């Protein structure tokens, strides 16, 4: 099969298991974001794909070939490090030409490829500048270009944009995605920034404690999280305890919700996105009654903090659908069963 396949990949550091039996298949040309809190094993997984760390057990295949024991320099991949790792003693052009130079490529070929890549990253004519004279964003681009010099089969990036300021980061996310689509290269990015993952990825892989919790498209991850960790980690959500009564109806915060499939074991967790909570007059049909504790008006969105018999909830609405609420007043909370997700407790 073309693309990257991880088979029961595991990595132990002493008694600590950093990556635990990971199973993943990345089709050729896909953009994958590995997302998770720090220490979840995502960087270790990336380093194993790069060959910088060896798996304790398991197998890594690239285009059908077993590369588990192939040394890094024979894997034909490009990697962008969090520190960028640009060679300080070389100029921009020499950095980009490095993979060609050590292979002994002719000077004309090196120069042609450097010019090509500099044009691609929108830095034409920068070949002779020392790396130290570049801005953060420019260094970022040079690191990306250098990783792509050999037209690798696999493009790996470890928290590539974390050193940039917020505005530049957002712009680079779009640029990186466009570049990847233009080149059609299989790309894996490690990040802890979910906006980054949602912007760029075809597939988001959510990891926690060395395991893959869910691997799916960004919308799928957001709309149908596999468990409470994913629901809570991607975006913000309200996690509410859910129960069933004797007739099999779903009970949420003391209110029977029709149209919600009752959990099998009786108890479950309901995940409701803040934008899926509608606020009405208290006492409306099917509404849960709560008290407004705080209103945060951010201009573009309005966040309403509600206390429902001890359980805090957050509702987000747009200014157009501005809820008629004020702090300390009761409010009716309506959960749309169509967009709620029932998760195992």
Question: Where do contacts with another protein occur on this chain (CB under 8 A)?
Answer: 50-52, 71-73, 75-79, 81-83, 85, 87-90, 98-99, 102-103, 146-147, 149-150, 156
Geometric angle at alpha carbon 173, from 169 and 176, rounded to 5°: 130
Query: Least Å distance between CB 78 and another protein?
Result: 7
Checking DSSP bridges between strand 3-13 and strand 57-62, what pairing results, if any?
Answer: antiparallel
Choice between 102 and 298, CB closer to another protein: 102
The C-alpha atoms of residue 82 and residue 159 are separated, in whole angstroms, by 5
The C-alpha atoms of residue 292 and residue 327 are separated, in whole angstroms, by 5
Choice between 148 and 302, CB closer to another protein: 148
Query: Least Å distance between CB 99 and another protein?
Result: 4
The C-alpha atoms of residue 51 and residue 74 are separated, in whole angstroms, by 9
Choice between 79 and 164, CB closer to another protein: 79
Choice between 34 and 46, CB closer to another protein: 46
Query: Least Å distance between CB 89 and another protein?
Result: 5
Contact between residue 40 and residue 208 where contact means Cβ atoms under 8 Å apart: yes
Query: Least Å distance between CB 170 and another protein?
Result: 25
Query: Least Å distance between CB 75 and another protein?
Result: 8
Choice between 40 and 147, CB closer to another protein: 147
Query: Least Å distance between CB 9 and another protein?
Result: 19
Residue 343, strand partner residues: 269
Choice between 2 and 72, CB closer to another protein: 72
Handedness of CA 263, 268, 273, 279 (dihedral sign): positive
Closest CA to 148 of 127, 176, 124: 176
Checking DSSP bridges between strand 277-280 and strand 288-297, what pairing results, if any?
Answer: unpaired
* Separation of CA 57 from chain center: 26
């Amino acid at each position: 099969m073309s693309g990257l396949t991880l088979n029961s990949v595991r990595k132990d550091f002493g008694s600590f298991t950093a990556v635990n039996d990971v199973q993943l298949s990345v089709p050729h040309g896909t953009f994958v974001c590995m997302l998770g809190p720090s220490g979840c094993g995502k960087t270790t997984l990336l380093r194993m794909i790069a060959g910088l760390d060896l798996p304790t057990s398991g197998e890594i295949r690239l285009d059908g070939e077993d590369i588990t024991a192939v040394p890094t320099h024979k894997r034909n991949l490009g990697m962008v490090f969090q520190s960028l790792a640009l060679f300080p003693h070389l100029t921009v052009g020499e950095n980009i030409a490095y993979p060609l130079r050590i292979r002994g490529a002719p000077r004309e070929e090196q120069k042609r490829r450097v010019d090509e890549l500099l044009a691609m990253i929108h830095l034409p004519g920068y070949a002779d500048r020392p790396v130290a004279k570049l801005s953060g964003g420019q260094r970022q681009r040079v690191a990306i270009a250098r990783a792509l010099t050999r037209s690798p089969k696999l493009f790996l990036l470890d928290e590539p944009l974390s050193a940039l300021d917020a505005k530049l980061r957002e712009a680079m996310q779009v640029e990186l995605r466009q570049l990847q689509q233009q080149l059609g290269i299989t790309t894996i990015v490690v990040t802890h920034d979910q906006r980054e993952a949602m912007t760029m990825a075809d597939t988001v892989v959510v990891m926690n404690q060395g395991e893959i919790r869910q691997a799916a498209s960004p919308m799928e991850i957001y709309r149908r999280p596999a468990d409470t960790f994913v629901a809570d980690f991607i975006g913000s959500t309200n996690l509410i305890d859910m129960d069933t009564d004797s007739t099999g109806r779903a009970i949420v915060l003391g209110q029977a919700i029709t149209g919600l499939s009752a959990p099998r074991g009786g108890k479950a967790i309901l995940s409701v996105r803040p934008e899926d909570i509608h606020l009405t007059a208290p006492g409306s049909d099917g509404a849960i009654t709560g008290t407004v504790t705080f209103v945060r008006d951010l201009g573009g969105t309005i966040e309403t903090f509600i206390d429902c018999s001890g359980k805090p909830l957050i509702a987000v609405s747009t200014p157009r659908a501005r809820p008629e609420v004020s702090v300390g007043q009761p409010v009716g909370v309506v959960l749309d069963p169509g967009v709620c997700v029932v998760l195992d407790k």
